[in-house]
Amino acid sequence: MLYHLLPQFADVHIVFNLFRYITFRSAGAVVTSLLLAFVLGPPTIRWLTRMNVGQIVRDDGPETHYEKAGTPTMGGVLIIMAAGFSTLLWADLTNGFTIVALAALFWMGLLGFLDDYLKIVQKKSRGLVAKYKLAGQVLFGVGLGLFLIQWPIWPVPANWTQVPFFADWVAVFWIPAYVAFVPVVVAGTSNTVNLTDGLDGLAAGLSAIAVVTFGVFAYFIGRVDASAYLGLFYLPGAENLAIYAAALAGSAIGFLWYNAHPATVFMGDTGSLALGGALGVMAILLKAEFLLVIVGGVFVMEGLSVIIQTGWFKYTARKHGAGRRVFLMAPIHHHFEKLGWAETKIVVRFWILGILFAMIGFSTLKIR
């Protein structure tokens, strides 16, 4: 909004010219979303408390989690409000990247809100809710894939994507395969972030690290000089995703103020699906889906631990008549809880791993 209103007054005072620059508007977006999360946090928590939307704790979970029962959840509305408003305020609202990214944030946030509402308020079975959730994710992903094929927002073919560590290699999908690939990325990312949201501050901190990383890539990919020098696709307009990423990071960090241990609010599926979907769609728009596996390494670990645990349990149940486990509990952060690690130690160490994976992601800029 400010981008459309204020630069025209540059002849009145040079300060208005600042609103043309991506770096200035990214800084403004992160500060705005951070302050909004701070200010809106207390009233949001009070509203959720009045709505009696409390966290449901699994009976087979770590004993330390029993005290979290009843803590307000669905706090992801705070993340969506702060990030959405900040993006609307600072981004170019005629930019295709911005429009698609905001649509993903709001769609996945609404899907997560309905998921939380059905489970917590309506007391629907988790199996039924999971089907609704997956259907909504796949519907959005297929729709996005078809949209990008029919109305591409890039100068390169829609079914091309970049390969990390290789400047001259491009992965080319058969078009129907690409349409099927997009919902896999969207659903996979949103669900793995959802699985990671099991400890105070874990998903919020890791999401902030990942979106900042992709924000830097967006800035480089949207600049003709930087993209040519680094051997990346040049995608005009993609630099606007740096503003979006800054808004997401600010809102996640602001939410972390209330979600740090001991948490006074949880993001619920409302927040985790929104953050995961936003991250996945950023990777799709930047044609960096394979980079997402590296930068989101902790999310991949969490998802794989559930797949391995479930698969091995079912296999051994058929083979031996009784299911066996690889981990004490999945997702893997609960395994370390069962080993006796303190919750804060697990969260900080996983954040460190998240930073490490982000650095590996940044290394692909030069190792090409």
162-186 pLDDT, tens digit each:
999 988 899 999 999 999 999 999 9
Whether 289 is in a domain gets the answer yes
Q: Give the integer Cα–Cα distance in Å for 232 and 317.
A: 48
Q: Report the chain's mean pLDDT, rounded to a whole number.
A: 91
Whether 211 is in a domain gets the answer yes
Considering its fold, how many domains does the chain have in total?
A: 1
Q: Give the integer Cα–Cα distance in Å for 184 and 142.
A: 9
Whether 155 is in a domain gets the answer yes
Whether 368 is in a domain gets the answer no
What mean pLDDT comes out for the span 200-216?
97
Whether 208 is in a domain gets the answer yes
Q: Give the integer Cα–Cα distance in Å for 180 and 297.
A: 22
Domain encompassing residue 225? 2-363
In this structure, of 123-137, 182-196, 335-349, 351-365, the range with the lowest mean pLDDT score is 123-137
Residue 206 reports pLDDT greater than 70: yes
**Residue 128: per-residue pLDDT:** 55
Residue 212 corresponds to which tokens in the numbers above? 């900042």
**75, 97 in Cβ contact below 8 A?**
no
Burial of 199 (C-beta count, 10 Å sphere; 0-12/13-18/19+): buried
Residue 63 reports pLDDT greater than 80: no
**Residue 17: per-residue pLDDT:** 80
**Residue 124: per-residue pLDDT:** 66
**pLDDT per position as a tens digit, 110-134:** 999 998 888 887 766 565 577 888 9
- By residue count, the chain amounts to 368
In this structure, of 117-126, 130-139, 271-280, the range with the lowest mean pLDDT score is 117-126
What mean pLDDT comes out for the span 208-227?
97
Residue 337 reports pLDDT greater than 70: yes
Q: Kindly list the distances between the CA atom of residue 277 and the CA atoms of 96, 215, 248, in Å, as whole numbers in the listed order.
A: 17, 15, 12
**Residue 14: per-residue pLDDT:** 79
User: Does 124 or 225 have the greater pLDDT score?
Assistant: 225
Whether 305 is in a domain gets the answer yes
**Residue 292: per-residue pLDDT:** 97
Q: Give the integer Cα–Cα distance in Å for 262 and 256.
A: 11
**Residue 12: per-residue pLDDT:** 74
What mean pLDDT comes out for the span 31-50?
94
User: Does 62 or 319 have the greater pLDDT score?
Assistant: 319
Q: Express as a percent the part of the chain with pLDDT over 90.
A: 78
**336, 305 in Cβ contact below 8 A?**
no
Q: Express as a percent the part of the chain with pLDDT over 70.
A: 93
User: Does 46 or 57 have the greater pLDDT score?
Assistant: 46
* Secondary structure of residue 240 in the 3-state scheme: helix
**Residue 217: per-residue pLDDT:** 98
Residue 262 corresponds to which tokens in the numbers above? 């001991």
Q: Give the integer Cα–Cα distance in Å for 157 and 285.
A: 12
In this structure, of 117-126, 306-315, 323-332, 353-362, the range with the lowest mean pLDDT score is 117-126
**Residue 59: per-residue pLDDT:** 57
**287, 154 in Cβ contact below 8 A?**
yes
Whether 81 is in a domain gets the answer yes
Backbone angles phi and psi of 57, in degrees to 5: -105, 135
**Residue 188 identity:** G
In this structure, of 60-69, 208-217, 219-228, the range with the lowest mean pLDDT score is 60-69
